[in-house]
Amino acid sequence: MHAACRELPTIEECRAAARSITDECLRECVSLQCGGTKINCGADVKKECALRKGTGVSALGYVWRPADAGCQNPVSEVNWCEEPSSRECRAQAMVHELAHACGWKHRQGLGVPADDGDLRCE
């Protein structure tokens, strides 16, 4: 995880939260990404987070995912909003975003936290 960004889970917390994923390829992809993805939290990310928050969506992060992303070809960057939340919530949010980076989509299930896109934690 990128030390310059605030409100990040640790690699260990991220990997522990990824254990809930039932698909082996997706779980392994997310677990590897917990320690190997680039985390962006600069001015452009803050603007996008503010726009998303203005729509009523409380995003802790987001990923720009190309069509060819998958568990064998993950996106290597996550945008992090640096919103305060509990340690458990941050880990679940990061796993959710990393699952997107690994090609997962909302409502596919597979044990990804907040399957419908609505992470209900503080």
- How do residues 98-120 score in pLDDT, each as one tens digit? 999 999 999 999 999 999 988 88
Beta strands in 34-80 (DSSP E): 38-40, 61-62, 77-80
Answer yes or no: is pLDDT of 74 > 70. yes
Question: In sequence order, which residues have a C-beta less than 8 Å from that of residue 72 and are 6 or more positions away?
Answer: 25, 29
Q: Which domain holds residue 86?
A: 11-102
Identify whether 112 is part of a domain.
no
Identify whether 107 is part of a domain.
no
Which pLDDT belongs to residue 22?
Answer: 98
Identify whether 82 is part of a domain.
yes
Identify whether 81 is part of a domain.
yes
Based on the structure, what is the number of domains in the chain? 1
Identify whether 117 is part of a domain.
no
Identify whether 44 is part of a domain.
yes
Residue 62 β-bridge partners: 79
pTM: 0.92
